[in-house]
Amino acid sequence: MNKKLNRLRRQAVSWAALVPMALVVIAGLGTALWSLKISFSSSRTFPADDFIGFAQYARLLDNDRWLLSLQNLAVYGVLFILAALVIGFLLAVFIDQKIKGEGVLRTIFLYPYAMSFVATGLVWQWMLNPEVGIQQTVRQLGYPDFKFDWIIDQDRVIYTIVIATVWQASGLVMALLLAGLRGIDEEIWKAARIDGIPPWRVYFSIVLPMLAPSFATAFVLLFTAVVKLFDSVVSMTQGGPGIASEVPAKFIMDHLFGRANIALASAGSIMMLLTVLVLVAPYFYARTRSAGRKQPS
């Protein structure tokens, strides 16, 4: 009897210690469900208790601004992820070639990641300013017809955000892929040399497949950053010119606070959540499956 009591007591302490974690999990799930409930209602500034089904979602799909924000995010997402992966990969590969000054270069490529999104957006906003930024500077250097006013161009402004955030995130991708590269057994390179495989082929057929987990991790991180895109847009373009660089996160925040339409915003946020789940769930599934399949040697 005493033994059982002791064991329960020991277990109780460790369970008690996990209460904060449990609270956070409940908060996470609870708030998500709460938002879901609101999205089915007609709440404006305050939550209303009615249930109108998917009406808000239908309204979203009819909302020009929301549709534009989705389109922007899609374009942005593809360009950002591709560019960051490619540049990060090239940086990692080249740095791995036993070059001089490796430490300095790594520091240079990664420092943008230490800056806030807001600061990044502001700096690039300044640089891309047509009147006193890069466009003007190049014109003064003797190219009076040089045009680089994308930031005030409705069709091109989203590319400016790509540039700024790729500048910030490529270093992160480089760090992740470099760690992966360094984890490759040195002797595989030796074996490839003996087999007479040219270096580019080694990268293509052997290294890249081995780096798949690192790429997957980088991709997931980049993808979540895309969905969360908010700070950079607010600081760089405020969603402009007009609504040309609107993104879902900003749409939702605007409607939660300024435009006082909680239900519509909640519907939008649930759509965001679903998008993330669709990608992240298979990733988790794949990781747990591959971890269980490896044979012990």
Residue numbers 229-258 binding another protein by CB under 8 A: 230-231, 234-235, 238, 249, 252-253, 256-257
3-state secondary structure of 276: helix
Judged by CB under 8 A, does residue 3 bind another protein? Answer: no
Question: Please, which residue, 53 or 196, has the CB nearer to another protein?
Answer: 196
Judged by CB under 8 A, does residue 55 bind another protein? Answer: no
Task: Tell me how many degrees the CA angle 281-230-39 measures, rounded to the nearest 5.
Answer: 60
Helices marked H in 96-211 — which ranges?
A: 102-110, 117-127, 134-140, 157-182, 186-195, 199-201, 208-210
Backbone angles phi, psi at 211, to 5 degrees: -85, 0
Q: DSSP code of 48?
A: -
Judged by CB under 8 A, does residue 73 bind another protein? Answer: no
Residues in 171-190 that interact with another protein by CB under 8 A: 171-172, 175-176, 179, 185, 187-188, 190
> Do residues 95 and 87 lie in contact, with contact meaning Cβ atoms separated by under 8 Å?
no
Judged by CB under 8 A, does residue 71 bind another protein? Answer: no
Q: In angstroms, rounded to a whole number, what is the distance separating the alpha carbons of residues 77 and 166? A: 11
Dihedral in degrees, nearest 10, Cα atoms 172, 177, 182, 186: -170
Q: In angstroms, rounded to a whole number, what is the distance separating the alpha carbons of residues 241 and 129? A: 13
> Do residues 223 and 16 lie in contact, with contact meaning Cβ atoms separated by under 8 Å?
no
Least distance between another protein and beta carbon 226 (Å): 11
Residues in 189-208 that interact with another protein by CB under 8 A: 190-191, 193-198, 201, 205-206
In this structure, the number of other CB atoms found within 10 A of the CB of residue 74 comes to: 12
Q: In angstroms, rounded to a whole number, what is the distance separating the alpha carbons of residues 68 and 73? A: 8
Residues in 90-119 that interact with another protein by CB under 8 A: 90-91, 94-95, 97-99, 103, 105-119
The one segment of 51-59, 62-70, 131-139, 150-158 that binds another protein by CB under 8 A? 131-139
Candidate list 228, 243, 244, 259; residue touching another protein; CB under 8 A: 228
Question: Please, which residue, 36 or 52, has the CB nearer to another protein?
Answer: 36
Candidate list 2, 21, 49, 289; residue touching another protein; CB under 8 A: 21
Candidate list 41, 56, 72, 269; residue touching another protein; CB under 8 A: 269
Residues in 29-48 that interact with another protein by CB under 8 A: 29-32, 34-35, 38, 47
3-state secondary structure of 281: helix
Judged by CB under 8 A, does residue 60 bind another protein? Answer: no
Least distance between another protein and beta carbon 234 (Å): 7
One-letter amino acid of 49: D
The one segment of 49-57, 58-66, 76-84, 220-228 that binds another protein by CB under 8 A? 220-228
Judged by CB under 8 A, does residue 4 bind another protein? Answer: no
Judged by CB under 8 A, does residue 1 bind another protein? Answer: no
